Amino acid sequence: MAKYLSISTSNDGVLQAPIGMGIMAELTSATKVRLYLANTVTHHILLICTGANQAFIDNINSALTSAAQTSWTNAVSEVSIPAGVVITDYEMTVFS
């Protein structure tokens, strides 16, 4: 059963990112967070943010841990967005 990381955005609705073999979150700046999918090296999911911080990255990691520890019937693991952080958009980015 596939599992998904659920991240609410203000402009693009809810992102359901497939966890697959894993996701690594990178805090690039207060306005950008990158989600690297473990099974690919050709692209990543870029989150456009306001106020992104380490607490948000910690919450992503916590949601990933929770997903790994739950049964296959709990397919979605929601990321808690810390106060002061707004996720506005997301896009799939291809490396060149």
- The rounded average pLDDT for each run of 10 residues, N- to C-terminus, in the chain (96 residues) is 93 94 94 91 90 98 95 92 97 78
CB 61 within 8 A of CB 50: no
Number of domains forming the structure of the chain? 1
pLDDT at 6: 97
Domain housing 75:
4-94
Amino acid at 27: L
pTM for the model stands at 0.92
Phi-psi group of 11: left, alpha or beta (phi > 0 → left; psi -120 to 50 → alpha; rest → beta): alpha
Strands 23-29 and 4-8: unpaired
Q: Are strands 76-78 and 4-8 parallel, antiparallel or unpaired?
A: parallel
